[in-house]
Amino acid sequence: MIRQILSIKKYNQSSVSSKNFLDFSQFLEKNVLSSAPRQISTATIRNTKEREKYSKCYDRSGKCQGCEKNKNWKKDESRLSISEAIREAQRCLKCTDAPCQKGCSTTIDIKSFIYNIEKKNWYGAAKVILTDNPLGLSCGQLCPISELCARNCNVSSSEKGAIKINKLQEFAVSMFKDMGVKQIRDIRLPKNDHFVFESSIALIGAGAASLSCATFLGRLGYKNITIFEKQQHAGGLVMSEIPMNRSPVDDINWEIEQVKQLGIKFQFGKEFGKDFSIESLRKDGFECIFIGCGLNEPKKGLGNIYSQSHILNSKTFLPKVNKAVKQDKDIEGTPKLSGHVIVLGIGDTALDCARSAYRCGAERVSVIFRRGWQDIRANDEILIPSKNEGINFIPYEQPIKLIDINGQLKEIELEQNLPINNDPYNLKYKLTGEKCRMSFDYLITAFGSEIQNKELQEFINSENGFVQINEKHQVKGCDWLYAGGDAVGVANLVDAVNDGKTSSWNIHNYLQRKYSISQLTPDHLPSYSTEIDNIDLSINILGVNFPNPFGLASAPPTTSYPMIKRAFQEGWGFAVVKTFVLDKDAITNVSPRIYKSTTDPLKQDPGYANIELISEKSAKYWLEGSKQIKKEFPNNVLIGSIMCQHNEKDWRELTRKCKNEAQFDMLELNLSCPHGMTELGMGRACGENPQIVKDICEWVTSEIDIPVIVKITPNYPDSAVIAQAAKDGGAKAVTLTNTFPTLMDPDPLGTPWPAVGEENNVTYGGGCGSMLRPIALRKTSEVAKAIPDLIIFGSGGIIQGDHALSFLRYGASAFQICSAVQDQDFATVFYDLKTSLQAHLFASNHLNQKQWKGQFPTTSKPAYSFSSNNKIKNLVGTGLHHIKDIADMKRENFLIPKINEDSCLKCGRCYLTCLDSGYQAIKFDNFNSYPNIIEELCTGCALCHAVCPVEGSISMEIRATDIVVNRGIPLENEPEGLINHITSKKK
């Protein structure tokens, strides 16, 4: 095929030179252009039967007949891909009030972890989740978000509905799980050497509540924690009753291992009430006991009907299923069902039974329940998949009794049970007397469960059948006995996790009071922690110690000292104050002046522009305030920022003020402001003349002995020339770069934005954020290559951790940030930047052998490595050797796109872009076909790779065939050494 294409191509090349330049070849017309869009908004004719046939043949809705699921325990929905997760995260508004967090049982900071996902920081997201929910992965898979966090989502009424918080949570923790990092106790916490931390604590049952309670106690520092479990495994209902298709066993096993990593001990095969009691635990020296056992017996609404083997209950059926599939990994070992299976009940457990019945061989499954659709107990997260699997739902029917047919119970009698009122929140039902019968081959009851354990009888509330606790989760006033989870009647897995968390804090308070510790230590529930958090991000720049390389640029986020104080409180390493001037040059800003500089109609891209000038505050304010801020934050770096005209007297006067009246660690000279100040002879007006830059630097450095930084304009063609002038004048560092002059689209009537005054005036504003980053990276690399010993502060579009990593590799030592904060807030942005950079540095060393690129798993081994034991300064400039002039780049290594059919969506976007913006090298046979690369026609431009909406669906690999450069018409005078034929390296 390829040879045929090649010969056709050669023929058409030769014939086109003598005949027609305007028409595609016959081969391209037939094989490539056949699927090309022709004319838009043209009526079409197609028989309805064709549509019906297509819809049936290419159904992607996921609906099926449940019998097709026989022995198929594959997870219902695959984990989101990276691109899917980012797109979903971008939909989130990151609301200030975060109603989702208030609706979350464990109060996870949902908006923050979704922000981390949007910024491709899986570790940061997982850390947020696991800090409040140690079973964050299982809860991501099983959480009834329709009743919890998503129920209150501010975008619930939008076209796409509430954010898929559960899917994003599962994605983040699952990605982090793949990194294989262990949990440790936070080393920043006080030492746990007080004898209170030797207290013995027992937890009964190894389900969600106990695992959560033990985790938080371990994080607090308690050393003698033991979980007693009657089974030979931990995990509670997630392990024994939740089917594999909803919660894979490897995930709960990982969560259990995370608990063990804190030193928690497990004793399996120990049944409460048989092998031990609360009294025996107390005699064995346990100072506190947490009851986290489940509901051990099924409710038997139809009496003793379980003597026949084809009649089961959820407590016998689901554990047998999960023992075979999850624990023994023996699909053939599940209970064998056939024919018609009836499930009684409509809770999550009932639907787990129904869906598992299909996977155990049932041909038809019916779920019968006495309620109506408006008040069923099952959540949407399991109800919708159940409907998609073809389960037959029969509402308003009360099971009355089973009917004996020839010695076997093979029919069930039902009586209609209809509502008698219209209150949707308190429906009342009444039996109508109208009865019917239905036959079955197997019957599974799922009426709920209850506690039947003599050890707990004295603690049971007779009204609801659960263990009675107070607001501190203490049992019947026993200050040393606590309970949570199913035993106290929680509604779901996440509530059980929260019971364990709150109980751990109350146990901590009790033990510290018991040992007369006046100051609670620790005084908060510790965060999830790993060795990633211990990676040192400090760096010494020009003799000044920076706690981390993340700082605020001289911009709106540093408008005042209270703002800088809040930033330092949240962890930022340094701040450059808003540029100030002598009193004679004071300004007043216009309004409006800050706006989005993005082509994104949804305004989700963190790009901004402004026509804001320098600080309106006096020089005295900035000088005096610097002393106060340095007194309160002596370890943070404060950098002054000043501006004058090209006037030696002014520069020397303002510099002396900074030296004598302020307490700055460094001084930045703003020679790059692109608007407003330029017209006054300042900023960019001074920064585009190398001699002027040198003059100003000489004046300033002769007056002050702290390091001087020059903030360089991006508008001068060669930043290295300006940087060299700054260095020659005595400056020790440069900031690359300031904003770039831009003009945004007016509205359709021609009114601009921002529109100042009644005349709706606008001017060229400084654009920054994402649009500026490629320019700033170029400027940074140019200066780093030209002047290796000059320190660079990277600035311009640093929104997330991998952006910071890019600036590091291209020569920057620290980062000045503005747009990211404008888009979010100090705390969220700093946390994301810090954890993301730490995770990238950790992964670059520890996961390099696992073929990861930073936080990204990949199929090809990265070409670099980085030791987490080194300082980040050792990473500065390590990517510069890759930057070459095009003339110096090799022509021998040509790549070709490869389509990954496992992830390709068959959308054909690669085909379209190659068709009208490339080389017509992709064949696409219309709907539901994979694109095919015509290797002989492909030049390896990678445009298809750039437009593909699914990350990883197109990779660039070494081509298998030679490439012949298409000159159209052969050159009459060919330059010496010109390459026309490139031999494949694959050969």
pLDDT tens across 611-641, in order?
Answer: 999 999 999 999 999 999 999 999 999 999 9
Instruction: Say what the pLDDT of residue 864 is.
Output: 45
82-177 homologous superfamily: Alpha-helical ferredoxin (1.10.1060.10)
pLDDT of 124-160, one tens digit each?
Answer: 999 999 999 999 999 999 998 988 999 999 998 888 8
Instruction: Say what the pLDDT of residue 14 is.
Output: 40
Kindly compute the dihedral angle of the four CA atoms of residues 835, 838, 839, 844, in this order, to the nearest 10 degrees: 160
pLDDT of 786-827, one tens digit each?
Answer: 999 999 999 999 999 999 999 999 999 999 999 999 999 999
Question: Which of the two residues, 40 and 501, has the higher pLDDT score?
Answer: 501
In angstroms, the CA 784 to CA 787 distance is 5
- When pLDDT is cut at 50, 70 and 90, the band that residue 850 belongs to is low
pLDDT at position 337 over 90: yes
- Transcribe 501-528 into DSSP letters: HHHHHHHHHHHHHHTT-SS-SSSSPPPP
Please tell us whether the domain made up of 2-31+886-982 is placed in CATH 3.30.70.20: yes
- When pLDDT is cut at 50, 70 and 90, the band that residue 341 belongs to is very high
pLDDT at position 686 over 80: yes
In angstroms, the CA 871 to CA 19 distance is 65
Beta-sheet pairing, 408-419 with 397-405: antiparallel
Instruction: Say what the pLDDT of residue 16 is.
Output: 44
The residue annotated as part of the active site, out of 100, 673, 914, 948, is 673
CB 293 within 8 A of CB 207: yes
In angstroms, the CA 323 to CA 325 distance is 6
- When pLDDT is cut at 50, 70 and 90, the band that residue 65 belongs to is low
pLDDT of 643-665, one tens digit each?
Answer: 999 999 999 999 999 999 999 99
Kindly compute the dihedral angle of the four CA atoms of residues 359, 364, 369, 373, in this order, to the nearest 10 degrees: 90
Beta-sheet pairing, 963-964 with 981-982: antiparallel
What CATH class has 195-296+451-514? alpha beta
- CB count within 10 Å of CB 480 equals 17
Instruction: Say what the pLDDT of residue 848 is.
Output: 60
In angstroms, the CA 634 to CA 623 distance is 16
CB 712 within 8 A of CB 726: yes
pLDDT of 560-600, one tens digit each?
Answer: 999 999 999 999 999 999 999 999 999 999 999 999 887 67
**Which residue is it, tokens 């659709």?**
373
Same fold, 82-177 and 195-296+451-514: no
Instruction: Say what the pLDDT of residue 4 is.
Output: 37
pLDDT at position 761 over 50: yes
Q: In this structure, which CATH number among 2.40.110.10, 3.50.50.60, 3.40.50.360, 3.90.1170.50 belongs to the domain 298-448?
A: 3.50.50.60
CB 808 within 8 A of CB 872: yes
Taking CA 78 as the corner, what is the angle to CA 73 and CA 84, rounded to the nearest 5 degrees?
Answer: 170
Instruction: Say what the pLDDT of residue 375 is.
Output: 84
In angstroms, the CA 640 to CA 903 distance is 51
- When pLDDT is cut at 50, 70 and 90, the band that residue 62 belongs to is low
**Percent with pLDDT over 70 in the chain:** 96
pLDDT at position 854 over 90: no
Cα distances (Å, whole numbers) of residue 735 to 550, 704, 771, 780, 890: 13, 19, 18, 9, 33
CB 250 within 8 A of CB 205: no
Instruction: Say what the pLDDT of residue 844 is.
Output: 79
- Give the E-state strand segments of 643-743 in sequence order: 666-670, 708-711, 733-736, 740-742
pLDDT at position 452 over 60: yes
Instruction: Say what the pLDDT of residue 927 is.
Output: 65
* 686 belongs to the catalytic site: no
pLDDT at position 323 over 70: yes
In angstroms, the CA 741 to CA 722 distance is 19
In angstroms, the CA 165 to CA 494 distance is 14
pLDDT at position 490 over 80: yes
Closest CA relative to residue 369, chosen from 399, 332, 326? 399
| Domain edges within the chain | 2-31+886-982, 82-177, 195-296+451-514, 298-448, 539-874
Phi, psi dihedrals of residue 983, rounded to the nearest 5°: -80, 140
Closest CA relative to residue 800, chosen from 840, 841, 842, 832? 832
pLDDT at position 862 over 60: no
Q: In this structure, which CATH number among 3.30.1380.20, 3.30.750.200, 3.40.50.720, 3.20.20.70 belongs to the domain 539-874?
A: 3.20.20.70
- CB count within 10 Å of CB 69 equals 21
Global pTM reads 0.93
**Percent with pLDDT over 90 in the chain:** 78
In angstroms, the CA 285 to CA 202 distance is 10
Q: What average pLDDT does the structure give for the chain? A: 92
pLDDT at position 285 over 90: yes
Instruction: Say what the pLDDT of residue 851 is.
Output: 67
First to last CA, the chain: 18
**Could you check whether the bond before residue 335 is cis, i.e. omega within 30 degrees of 0?**
no
- Tokens found for residue 502: 């709150």
Averaged over 900-913, what is the pLDDT? 91
**329-336 LR contacts (CB < 8 Å, sep 24+):** 331/71, 331/73, 332/71, 334/359, 334/360, 335/360, 336/360, 336/361
Instruction: Say what the pLDDT of residue 859 is.
Output: 55
- Residue 681, Ramachandran bin (φ over 0: left; ψ between -120 and 50: alpha; else beta): left
pLDDT at position 940 over 50: yes
